[in-house]
Structure 1
Amino acid sequence: MSKPSSGLYLGLISGTSADGIDAALVRFQAGAEPTRCELVLGRTYAWNEALRERLVALGQGGDARSLEELGTLDIQVAEAFADAARALIDEAGVSAGDVRAIGSHGQTVRHRPAGARYDGQHPFTWQIGDGAVIAERSGIATVADFRRRDVAAGGHGAPLMPAFHAALLHSPDQDRAALNLGGIANFTLLPARGEVRGFDTGPANCLMDAWALRHLGQAFDADGAFAAQGQIDTALLARLLDEPWFAQPPPKSTGREQFQLAWVESRLRGGERPQDVQASLLELSAITIADALRAHQPATKRVLVCGGGVRNRALLDRLAAQLPGVVVESTAAFGLDPDFVEAMGFAWLARQTVAGLPGNLPSVTGARGLRVLGTVHPAA
């Protein structure tokens, strides 16, 4: 075990929505804490559309057609991640040798932690995107497969950003929460004094994205405009909120396996207007996020939002309405580009792993203890 080294690290992530590969080149200063770090360059790279459609289908509970297909997808995802890394360092004007390590999240195709609806006795999480291929194609040491060790230690393997959020966004003067609005919403609770906690709250954008794709042919509902055309269907919203998962206590995590269009369709009665369903899905996200915060950190004064949902003004407005007296604002107010906070976090996780330091927080994931995460694939 050693102190994390200073220098450049690169983080890669494609989240639940699979709406692109986020890549962040981050410069860390010397010392163990990531409070002194700089986003040198952040970019989002588009997926090949056919590959994205297949990944979304798998993430929503679909089965691979064969082992051969799954193996091929593993390599295709890795190649796409490696291409993103190379494009980013080329644009930044640095060489592969300048980057100490890549931290790659990969693409989740199954997430079945303890308590998930499966056999319940063999928890696992699976992110594809072979780290060896990324290292070979990029020429940079690559850390991948971060979540499995935490799951093996009895945790959920998610969320993994709270340690990073705590170092950058904690205040000794007020209770805060960092909220990531990706496909799934997750909180990092940052009390002024006390233990950092974190957990998934349920859908943020994944259901709205899927509904917009079906009815608009668009990958997402830009600025919540489609939802704004509708009215909340209170009966539908009640059926959605009746989902038992929402009442489960932390630690908990989820994904598209749980919250997908089939889940929505099972609660429709027929004849609903598409825009009313969209408005109801947006309200579902706002209510479940607000309820989780009230239940687990009611004295919160400020919610700092990152992830793609920060661009959905309608969602942020409804969230603010659900949390009167709480400041709801983008992490940009604290100098953190909301589009790349997670990718920056995986750069930090790579730095932790290379130094032999833990990357999880047992108070968040429920693991039996601190663990060094990921598998290191040395540079070619």
Structure 2
Amino acid sequence: MALVTAIGLMSGTSMDGIDLAIMRTDGVSVIETGPSHFVAYDAAFRRRIEASLETAKSVVVRTDRPGGLAEIERDITLRHADAVKAFMNALPPEWREVDLIGFHGQTVLHRPHLGVTVQLGDGALLAGETGIPVIYDMRANDMAHGGQGAPLVPAYHAALARSLPAPHAGLFPVVFVNIGGISNVTYVPETGEPLAFDSGPGNALIDQWVDREGGIPYDAGGAIASEGGVVEQVVDRYLHKPFFRRPGPKSLDRNDFTLAEVEGLELADGARTLAAVSARAIAVSANQMPLAPKLWIICGGGRKNPHIVGDLSEIAQRSGAEVIVAEDAGLDGDATEAEAWAYLAVRSQKALPLTFPGTTGCREAVSGGVLASPFVEGHQSFTPASSD
């Protein structure tokens, strides 16, 4: 299959900014990754996005944009466009011919039981601003086929798992863990399709806690948590919530877990306890996997929290498994999700499956996404990237 050069754009549940990554891929097994970059949102814009989460609760039809959501969607898209232009200007010459953009947008509502997921991001506007075809809205077709609409990264995780270098090549089952605002896991067997589901809170609760209690946007390097201790009763209260008893596939909205359980704790104890919740929620996910993992690979911002990684490592070692961060496997843990969106865009363009029954619960493996072409003679062209 022909190689396509694609930029992937991801703004995750942490709402801290835009991750950009570029790759060449055939959408199957050939993956050549290039440079990546991160553009932070300023504090005021991040607060606007956070405020939009409350507004989005009134959305019934996913295309509705009540109460200022249309305005912030435009602003989010224009920031992505500026980020793409700056990124491309800084690329080495051999990477500047870009064929496609995979655009995630900003999730502000995810209610799979109601068949509604909302990612703010105008693909047509982005295509017009950058002059590059954009594939976006990649979750909707999965939900139309009975899926949860998340997670979508597992297709990329499966490709990575089967191309790991020594000494980690062939250590199956491999579990990729992406720790963003919410954590999700991808179980990759030696043969067959992956299994995946959201495992629980990742960084979001920790970020919310230290921001509210300490006026600090996030716990850099787990420094705050290092001054505190784990309050086991609080961890138990979180892990006894119904979500953890539900079988996968399953997915979470950012608002499904709150700070109610840590009310009254000291700042450091709360941060350390919430890190333990994140780690143990990931570990508990192994109970829903066909075989015990031999290797856990940690991606996303949470891999920089030594308490999350350390707690998970301690638990995994009891079953003889190894926990490594993405860089230990030659991967870029900051860029993995953005790379995934580039990879998924190419799969969408080629009508290859993005999701599988074991990753989202869809009835059958399905592709998805909508293609927005750049302006042609003053008109915007929209074409489904794949048909049902």
Q: Say which of 161, 186, 189 aligns to 1:188.
A: 186
Q: Distance in 1 between matches of 2:5 and 2:192?
A: 32
**Structure 1 298/194 Cα, relative in aligned 2: closer, same or farther at 3 Å?**
same
Q: Distance in 2 between matches of 1:269 and 1:179?
A: 28
- What whole-Å deviation, never above 9, does each CA across 1:64-113 have from its counterpart, x for those lacking one? 89825111011111111111111111110459982111000000010000
- What whole-Å deviation, never above 9, does each CA across 1:250-295 have from its counterpart, x for those lacking one? 0100021212xxx222x3564x222112211111111111011244
Gaps of 5+ in 2: 60-64, 163-168, 376-388
Q: Distance in 2 between matches of 1:193 and 1:146?
A: 26
Equivalent residue for 1:128? 120
Equivalent residue for 2:298? 305
Are residue 48 (structure 1) and residue 47 (structure 2) matched?
no
Q: Distance in 1 between matches of 2:131 and 2:192?
A: 42
**Structure 1 323/95 Cα, relative in aligned 2: closer, same or farther at 3 Å?**
closer
Q: Distance in 2 between matches of 1:129 and 1:148?
A: 14
- After TM superposition, give the deviation of residue 160 of structure 1 in Å: 0.5
Are residue 85 (structure 1) and residue 103 (structure 2) matched?
no
Name the SS of the counterpart of 1:179 in structure 2.
Answer: strand
- What whole-Å deviation, never above 9, does each CA across 1:150-200 have from its counterpart, x for those lacking one? 111110111111111111113555211111011111111012244410000
In the alignment, residue 306 of structure 2 is paired with which amino acid?
Answer: R
**Structure 1 61/334 Cα, relative in aligned 2: closer, same or farther at 3 Å?**
farther
Equivalent residue for 1:241? 239
Equivalent residue for 1:119? none
Q: Distance in 1 between matches of 2:300 and 2:291?
A: 23
Q: Distance in 2 between matches of 1:214 and 1:52?
A: 14
- After TM superposition, give the deviation of residue 336 of structure 1 in Å: 1.5
RMSD of aligned alpha carbons: 2.1
Are residue 9 (structure 1) and residue 2 (structure 2) matched?
no
Q: Distance in 1 between matches of 2:55 and 2:239?
A: 21
Q: How does 1:52-201 map to 2 (within 5 A)?
A: 52-59=46-53, 67=66, 69-94=68-93, 98-114=97-113, 122-170=114-162, 172-201=170-199
Please say which of residues 157-166 and 58-67 is displaced more in the overlay.
Answer: 58-67
Q: Distance in 2 between matches of 1:73 and 1:216?
A: 28
In the alignment, residue 47 of structure 1 is paired with which amino acid?
Answer: Y
What's the TM-score, normalizing by structure 2?
0.88
**Structure 1 81/126 Cα, relative in aligned 2: closer, same or farther at 3 Å?**
same
Equivalent residue for 1:376? 371
In the alignment, residue 172 of structure 2 is paired with which amino acid?
Answer: Q
Kindly indicate whether the alpha-carbon contact (under 8 Å) linking 1:162 and 1:361 is maintained by their aligned counterparts in 2: no
Equivalent residue for 2:315? 322
Q: Distance in 1 between matches of 2:171 and 2:92?
A: 40
- After TM superposition, give the deviation of residue 298 of structure 1 in Å: 4.5
Gaps of 5+ in 1: 115-121
Equivalent residue for 2:23? 26
Are residue 264 (structure 1) and residue 262 (structure 2) matched?
no
Equivalent residue for 2:33? 39
Please say which of residues 183-192 and 90-99 is displaced more in the overlay.
Answer: 90-99
- What whole-Å deviation, never above 9, does each CA across 1:18-52 have from its counterpart, x for those lacking one? 11100001122xx452x332222100001132221
- After TM superposition, give the deviation of residue 240 of structure 1 in Å: 1.9
Q: Say which of 353, 357, 369 aligns to 1:358.
A: 353
Kindly indicate whether the alpha-carbon contact (under 8 Å) linking 1:74 and 1:129 is maintained by their aligned counterparts in 2: yes
**Structure 1 258/60 Cα, relative in aligned 2: closer, same or farther at 3 Å?**
farther
Corresponding pairs, count: 362
Kindly indicate whether the alpha-carbon contact (under 8 Å) linking 1:359 and 1:370 is maintained by their aligned counterparts in 2: yes
Name the SS of the counterpart of 1:249 in structure 2.
Answer: coil
Kindly indicate whether the alpha-carbon contact (under 8 Å) linking 1:60 and 1:257 is maintained by their aligned counterparts in 2: no
**Structure 1 355/298 Cα, relative in aligned 2: closer, same or farther at 3 Å?**
closer
Equivalent residue for 1:332? 327
- After TM superposition, give the deviation of residue 60 of structure 1 in Å: 6.5
- After TM superposition, give the deviation of residue 211 of structure 1 in Å: 0.7
Identity of aligned residues (%): 35
